Structure 1
Amino acid sequence: MNRIGIQHLPLQPTVQVPPTNTASAKSKQSFISHLQEAATSNRELKISKHANERLTERNIQISEQEWRVVSDKVFEARAKGVNQPLVLMEQAALIVSAKNATVITAMERTEAKNQLFTNIDGTIVL
Protein backbone atom coordinates (compact mmCIF):
# COMPACT_ATOMS: atom_id res chain seq x y z
CA MET A 1 0.00 0.00 0.00
CA ASN A 2 1.01 3.52 -0.75
CA ARG A 3 1.33 5.79 2.18
CA ILE A 4 0.35 9.36 1.66
CA GLY A 5 1.82 11.97 4.03
CA ILE A 6 -0.37 14.90 4.88
CA GLN A 7 1.29 18.06 6.00
CA HIS A 8 -0.75 20.68 7.88
CA LEU A 9 -0.26 24.32 6.87
CA PRO A 10 -1.06 27.21 9.19
CA LEU A 11 -4.22 29.15 8.35
CA GLN A 12 -2.54 32.55 8.76
CA PRO A 13 0.72 33.09 6.94
CA THR A 14 3.52 34.26 9.16
CA VAL A 15 4.82 37.72 8.40
CA GLN A 16 8.15 38.92 9.58
CA VAL A 17 8.13 42.50 10.81
CA PRO A 18 11.35 44.36 10.09
CA PRO A 19 13.02 45.91 13.10
CA THR A 20 12.11 49.54 13.81
CA ASN A 21 14.52 51.96 12.28
CA THR A 22 15.35 54.40 15.07
CA ALA A 23 16.89 56.88 12.64
CA SER A 24 13.58 57.12 10.76
CA ALA A 25 11.64 57.61 14.01
CA LYS A 26 14.11 60.31 15.09
CA SER A 27 13.82 62.16 11.78
CA LYS A 28 10.01 62.11 11.99
CA GLN A 29 10.13 63.47 15.54
CA SER A 30 12.69 66.07 14.48
CA PHE A 31 10.47 67.21 11.60
CA ILE A 32 7.44 67.52 13.89
CA SER A 33 9.40 69.53 16.47
CA HIS A 34 10.78 71.84 13.75
CA LEU A 35 7.30 72.34 12.34
CA GLN A 36 5.87 73.22 15.76
CA GLU A 37 8.77 75.57 16.46
CA ALA A 38 8.28 77.34 13.13
CA ALA A 39 4.56 77.70 13.77
CA THR A 40 4.99 79.24 17.21
CA SER A 41 8.13 81.33 16.68
CA ASN A 42 6.75 83.32 13.75
CA ARG A 43 3.85 84.92 15.59
CA GLU A 44 4.49 88.48 14.53
CA LEU A 45 2.30 90.50 12.24
CA LYS A 46 3.77 92.08 9.15
CA ILE A 47 2.56 95.47 7.98
CA SER A 48 1.79 95.92 4.30
CA LYS A 49 3.15 98.92 2.45
CA HIS A 50 -0.39 100.33 2.20
CA ALA A 51 -1.03 99.91 5.95
CA ASN A 52 2.33 101.43 6.81
CA GLU A 53 1.50 104.49 4.69
CA ARG A 54 -1.88 104.83 6.43
CA LEU A 55 -0.30 104.56 9.88
CA THR A 56 2.21 107.26 8.96
CA GLU A 57 -0.32 109.57 7.23
CA ARG A 58 -2.75 109.38 10.12
CA ASN A 59 -0.03 109.56 12.77
CA ILE A 60 -1.25 106.38 14.48
CA GLN A 61 1.16 105.22 17.16
CA ILE A 62 0.89 101.64 18.42
CA SER A 63 3.26 100.49 21.17
CA GLU A 64 5.14 97.19 21.03
CA GLN A 65 3.04 95.85 23.89
CA GLU A 66 -0.14 96.68 21.96
CA TRP A 67 1.30 94.98 18.84
CA ARG A 68 1.98 91.84 20.87
CA VAL A 69 -1.63 91.80 22.11
CA VAL A 70 -2.95 92.37 18.56
CA SER A 71 -0.67 89.62 17.21
CA ASP A 72 -1.73 87.14 19.90
CA LYS A 73 -5.42 87.84 19.29
CA VAL A 74 -5.06 87.58 15.49
CA PHE A 75 -3.30 84.22 15.77
CA GLU A 76 -5.92 83.06 18.27
CA ALA A 77 -8.65 84.10 15.81
CA ARG A 78 -6.83 82.32 12.97
CA ALA A 79 -6.74 79.13 15.04
CA LYS A 80 -10.55 79.43 15.31
CA GLY A 81 -10.95 79.77 11.54
CA VAL A 82 -11.07 83.56 11.14
CA ASN A 83 -9.24 84.64 7.98
CA GLN A 84 -9.72 88.40 7.84
CA PRO A 85 -10.59 90.09 11.14
CA LEU A 86 -11.30 93.72 11.91
CA VAL A 87 -9.22 94.71 14.94
CA LEU A 88 -10.73 97.60 16.91
CA MET A 89 -8.27 99.29 19.22
CA GLU A 90 -8.72 102.42 21.32
CA GLN A 91 -6.89 104.61 18.81
CA ALA A 92 -7.12 102.62 15.56
CA ALA A 93 -9.02 100.10 13.45
CA LEU A 94 -6.99 97.53 11.52
CA ILE A 95 -7.97 95.08 8.83
CA VAL A 96 -5.71 92.04 9.05
CA SER A 97 -5.15 89.03 6.85
CA ALA A 98 -4.79 86.36 9.53
CA LYS A 99 -3.95 83.81 6.85
CA ASN A 100 -0.90 85.85 5.77
CA ALA A 101 -0.29 87.44 9.20
CA THR A 102 -0.32 90.88 7.56
CA VAL A 103 -2.01 94.15 8.48
CA ILE A 104 -3.75 95.22 5.26
CA THR A 105 -4.95 98.70 6.20
CA ALA A 106 -5.31 101.01 9.17
CA MET A 107 -7.41 104.01 10.13
CA GLU A 108 -8.09 106.14 13.17
CA ARG A 109 -10.83 104.84 15.42
CA THR A 110 -12.91 108.03 14.96
CA GLU A 111 -12.63 107.63 11.18
CA ALA A 112 -13.78 104.02 11.50
CA LYS A 113 -17.11 105.04 13.09
CA ASN A 114 -18.56 106.07 9.74
CA GLN A 115 -17.21 103.16 7.72
CA LEU A 116 -18.84 100.03 6.41
CA PHE A 117 -16.45 97.09 6.62
CA THR A 118 -16.81 94.31 4.08
CA ASN A 119 -14.91 91.09 3.45
CA ILE A 120 -14.22 90.50 7.13
CA ASP A 121 -15.18 87.34 8.91
CA GLY A 122 -14.46 88.28 12.51
CA THR A 123 -13.94 91.21 14.84
CA ILE A 124 -11.41 91.59 17.64
CA VAL A 125 -12.23 94.35 20.12
CA LEU A 126 -9.35 95.44 22.35
Structure 2
Amino acid sequence: MDPRIQSLHRPLPIPKKEPLNQKPNVPFQQFLQEAKEIKVSKHAMERIRDRKIEISEQAWSKIGEKMTEANKKGVDQSLVVLNEATLVVSSKNRTVVTAMDRSETQSQIFTNINGTIFVNE
Protein backbone atom coordinates (compact mmCIF):
# COMPACT_ATOMS: atom_id res chain seq x y z
CA MET A 1 0.00 0.00 0.00
CA ASP A 2 1.19 3.49 -0.78
CA PRO A 3 2.52 5.08 2.49
CA ARG A 4 0.73 8.36 1.70
CA ILE A 5 -2.64 6.61 1.64
CA GLN A 6 -1.87 4.60 4.75
CA SER A 7 -1.16 7.79 6.71
CA LEU A 8 -4.65 9.06 5.85
CA HIS A 9 -6.25 6.04 7.51
CA ARG A 10 -4.64 6.48 10.93
CA PRO A 11 -7.15 7.20 13.69
CA LEU A 12 -7.29 10.82 14.76
CA PRO A 13 -6.48 11.60 18.39
CA ILE A 14 -9.58 12.14 20.50
CA PRO A 15 -9.49 15.56 22.17
CA LYS A 16 -9.91 15.64 25.93
CA LYS A 17 -13.15 17.06 27.19
CA GLU A 18 -12.67 20.38 28.92
CA PRO A 19 -14.70 21.01 32.07
CA LEU A 20 -17.62 23.42 31.76
CA ASN A 21 -17.00 27.00 32.84
CA GLN A 22 -18.64 26.57 36.20
CA LYS A 23 -17.56 28.32 39.32
CA PRO A 24 -15.96 25.84 41.71
CA ASN A 25 -17.77 25.07 44.96
CA VAL A 26 -20.87 27.09 44.02
CA PRO A 27 -24.12 25.48 45.14
CA PHE A 28 -26.48 24.68 42.28
CA GLN A 29 -29.22 27.00 43.61
CA GLN A 30 -26.78 29.92 43.66
CA PHE A 31 -25.63 29.03 40.13
CA LEU A 32 -29.26 29.12 38.94
CA GLN A 33 -29.88 32.42 40.72
CA GLU A 34 -26.88 34.04 39.06
CA ALA A 35 -28.00 32.75 35.67
CA LYS A 36 -31.39 34.45 36.13
CA GLU A 37 -29.98 37.86 37.00
CA ILE A 38 -30.87 40.79 34.78
CA LYS A 39 -28.20 43.31 33.85
CA VAL A 40 -29.14 46.95 33.41
CA SER A 41 -27.01 48.95 30.99
CA LYS A 42 -25.55 52.25 32.11
CA HIS A 43 -27.84 54.06 29.66
CA ALA A 44 -30.93 52.28 30.97
CA MET A 45 -29.92 52.93 34.59
CA GLU A 46 -29.62 56.65 33.85
CA ARG A 47 -33.04 56.64 32.16
CA ILE A 48 -34.66 54.82 35.09
CA ARG A 49 -33.09 57.22 37.58
CA ASP A 50 -33.80 60.42 35.59
CA ARG A 51 -37.41 59.47 34.89
CA LYS A 52 -37.96 58.22 38.44
CA ILE A 53 -39.21 54.87 37.17
CA GLU A 54 -39.87 52.39 39.96
CA ILE A 55 -40.06 48.70 39.21
CA SER A 56 -40.94 46.32 42.02
CA GLU A 57 -38.88 43.27 42.88
CA GLN A 58 -41.83 41.11 41.86
CA ALA A 59 -41.95 42.80 38.43
CA TRP A 60 -38.18 42.32 37.95
CA SER A 61 -38.62 38.64 38.77
CA LYS A 62 -41.44 38.31 36.24
CA ILE A 63 -39.39 40.18 33.61
CA GLY A 64 -36.51 37.73 34.18
CA GLU A 65 -38.82 34.74 33.76
CA LYS A 66 -40.31 36.15 30.56
CA MET A 67 -36.87 37.01 29.16
CA THR A 68 -35.82 33.39 29.66
CA GLU A 69 -39.01 32.19 27.97
CA ALA A 70 -38.55 34.65 25.08
CA ASN A 71 -34.93 33.58 24.59
CA LYS A 72 -35.99 29.92 24.41
CA LYS A 73 -38.41 30.91 21.63
CA GLY A 74 -35.63 32.63 19.69
CA VAL A 75 -36.54 36.20 20.61
CA ASP A 76 -33.43 38.37 20.85
CA GLN A 77 -34.76 41.90 21.40
CA SER A 78 -38.00 42.46 23.30
CA LEU A 79 -40.20 45.35 24.24
CA VAL A 80 -41.30 44.90 27.87
CA VAL A 81 -44.52 46.76 28.62
CA LEU A 82 -45.24 47.44 32.29
CA ASN A 83 -48.07 49.48 33.80
CA GLU A 84 -45.86 52.55 34.35
CA ALA A 85 -42.83 51.94 32.13
CA THR A 86 -41.56 50.38 28.92
CA LEU A 87 -38.19 48.67 28.60
CA VAL A 88 -36.22 47.51 25.59
CA VAL A 89 -34.33 44.38 26.58
CA SER A 90 -31.94 41.91 25.05
CA SER A 91 -33.40 38.53 26.00
CA LYS A 92 -30.29 36.88 24.61
CA ASN A 93 -27.93 38.86 26.88
CA ARG A 94 -30.44 39.32 29.73
CA THR A 95 -29.79 43.07 29.61
CA VAL A 96 -32.10 46.09 29.85
CA VAL A 97 -31.01 48.35 26.99
CA THR A 98 -33.21 51.39 27.65
CA ALA A 99 -36.21 52.46 29.69
CA MET A 100 -38.93 55.05 29.35
CA ASP A 101 -42.05 56.17 31.08
CA ARG A 102 -45.27 54.86 29.49
CA SER A 103 -46.37 58.41 28.68
CA GLU A 104 -43.27 58.74 26.45
CA THR A 105 -44.22 55.69 24.40
CA GLN A 106 -47.47 57.12 23.03
CA SER A 107 -45.97 58.17 19.70
CA GLN A 108 -42.79 56.09 19.53
CA ILE A 109 -41.73 53.60 16.89
CA PHE A 110 -39.67 50.68 18.18
CA THR A 111 -37.35 49.01 15.69
CA ASN A 112 -35.26 45.82 15.79
CA ILE A 113 -37.75 44.22 18.19
CA ASN A 114 -38.86 40.65 17.52
CA GLY A 115 -40.98 40.10 20.61
CA THR A 116 -43.18 41.89 23.13
CA ILE A 117 -43.58 41.00 26.81
CA PHE A 118 -46.49 42.36 28.85
CA VAL A 119 -46.00 42.36 32.62
CA ASN A 120 -48.93 43.34 34.82
CA GLU A 121 -47.65 44.53 38.17
TM-score between the two structures when normalised by the length of structure 1 = 0.69
Aligned to 1:114: 107
Query: What is the alpha-carbon root mean square deviation over aligned residues?
Result: 2.4
After TM superposition, where is structure 1 displaced by more than 2 Å over at least 4 residues in a row? 37-41
Number of residue equivalences: 97
Residues 14-52 of structure 1, C-alpha deviations (whole Å, 9 max, x = no match): xxxxxxxxxxxxx99x96xx6xx5874311111000000
Q: How does 1:55-70 map to 2 (within 5 A)?
A: 55-70=48-63
Quote the sequence identity (%).
Answer: 47
Whichever of the two has the greater Rg, that structure is: 1
Instruction: State the distance in 1 between where 2:65 and 2:85 align.
Output: 17
Which segments of 5 or more consecutive residues in structure 2 lack a partner in the other structure? 1-16, 23-27
Higher relative contact order at CA 8 Å, sep ≥6: structure 1 or structure 2? 2
Aligned to 1:84: 77
TM-score between the two structures when normalised by the length of structure 2 = 0.71
Aligned to 1:101: 94
SS in 2 for 1:119: coil
Aligned to 2:39: 46
Which segments of 5 or more consecutive residues in structure 1 lack a partner in the other structure? 1-26
Closer, same or farther in 2 for the Cα pair 1:39/1:77, shift >3 Å?
A: farther
